[in-house]
Structure 1
Amino acid sequence: MTSDLSGLAQAELDYRPRWVEPDLADLWLQRLIADTPWTQPRIRLYGRTFEVPRLVAWYGDPEARYRYSGLVHQPLPWSPLLADIRDRLQQSTGLSLNGVLLNFYRDGQDAMGWHSDDEPELGPEPVVVSLNLGATRRFDLRRKGCSRIEHSLPLEHGSLLVMRGPTQHHWQHQIARTRRVSEPRVNLTFRQIIRESI
């Protein structure tokens, strides 16, 4: 496993450590944890219903409804803080972003299972701009149809990971549970919703 993503075939990833200075990242983390109306949705997989192992919130433009894991998420209106972060990201990346999924990992026991961000409303080459605040968590990548982790990357406080191009069609990613982490983490994944999911 390696953190060098430059040779990842059929993928386009750009990792930017320390994209935001630590003091500002600390402030954003504190405000987002305190001010976000977090929910813990229940989803149905393989005939069983269970709560997702993290807290979530979906914000965006009014038309940016988003379906994943069988649930339709109606966007909350942009908060001043999230609108400011989106403006900074759009200037930095040159991308147009109209929605953001916030994931709150309260500690190392909160996680995200293997998946690809390849829902139809994200278009033929989905763009995901992932801002990481708080505890460093390991981001694993594996090829679709394979069980072996091929690459891992520690997503650090204040870092940015941009995924685009064919990445979501050929690769899956996860944030695995770990007993080594007790601190909270908030991950903001900004997206461009091309069309409504319902």
Structure 2
Amino acid sequence: MYDLFSAPTTLEQLTIVDGELAFAHQFYAAEYATDLFHELLNTTPWRQDPITVWGKTHLQPRLTAWYGDKQSSYEYSGLALDPYPWTPTLLAIKHAIEELTQHSYNSVLLNLYRDQHDSVGWHSDDEPELGSSPTIASLSLGETRRFKLRHKTNPMQKPLTIALSNGSVLLMSGELQSKWEHAVPKESRLHTPRINLTFRTILR
């Protein structure tokens, strides 16, 4: 048997203005993180939905699945999502993330980046049902991908890039969603699949 968690399992606060950002490089040990990746890859009912951005509708450049409590429906980019019920694996991950971040969540969006061509464009998670200062915890499994942030209104603020590695957790909170945008860009070199789980709290 191996440990589920790597030591230390504390979040390191990252320096940023207009928001709060924290990172745990390897919350889950690599072997266990890889096992979780393969389980979720093979058991999740992945879907590719059309979304509307800037008045244009197109298929999302990645696959997704939405899970959560019964009343945690979510809408973004013209897409309305009703949650699948929690699985035992996702509940176990949720409880571990809640212990790490000292915050409770009632939903999670799973994103599957199949290769280097899959991505998510510049956006903020600022939908009304998330509240004015949402806390969002992001767990990465599989391939390392670049996570980029840029300030919405202050061009003098230097953009940030964080390598989200297998088993890592990024915590975004405070004013971050109202002041910053983030993206996972396409890559030029070959990338194997990555799964990202973003735990959220839907307010009703």
CA deviation after TM superposition for structure 1 residue 49, in Å: 2.0
Does the alignment pair 1:108 with 2:116?
yes
Does the alignment pair 1:134 with 2:142?
yes
Q: Which has the higher contact order (CA 8 A, sep 6+)?
A: 1
RMSD: 1.6
Does the alignment pair 1:153 with 2:162?
yes
Among 85, 88, 106, the alignment partner of 2:96 is 88
Instruction: Give the 3 Å change call, closer, same or farther, for CA 192–25 of structure 1 in structure 2.
Output: same
Residue 110 of structure 2 aligns to a residue whose secondary structure is strand
- How far apart, CA to CA, are the structure 2 residues paired with 1:37 and 1:170? 33
- How far apart, CA to CA, are the structure 1 residues paired with 2:81 and 2:30? 31
Does the alignment pair 1:74 with 2:82?
yes
Q: CA contact under 8 A between 1:140 and 1:149: conserved in structure 2?
A: no
Percent of matched pairs sharing the same residue:
43
The Cα offsets for residues 170-190 of structure 1, whole Å up to 9 and x where unpaired, read as 000000000224200000000
CA deviation after TM superposition for structure 1 residue 127, in Å: 0.8
For structure 2, list consecutive stretches of 5 or more residues without a partner in the other structure: 1-11
CA deviation after TM superposition for structure 1 residue 94, in Å: 1.2
Residue 117 of structure 2 aligns to a residue whose secondary structure is coil
Q: CA contact under 8 A between 2:14 and 2:23: conserved in structure 1?
A: no
Tell me the TM-score normalized by structure 1. 0.92
Aligned to 2:58: 50
> Does 146-155 or 76-85 show the bigger shift?
146-155
Instruction: Give the 3 Å change call, closer, same or farther, for CA 124–48 of structure 1 in structure 2.
Output: closer
Instruction: Give the 3 Å change call, closer, same or farther, for CA 120–46 of structure 1 in structure 2.
Output: closer
Tell me the TM-score normalized by structure 2. 0.90
Q: CA contact under 8 A between 2:52 and 2:58: conserved in structure 1?
A: yes
Does the alignment pair 1:175 with 2:184?
yes
Aligned to 1:189: 198
Off by >3 Å, runs of 4+ in structure 1: 145-149
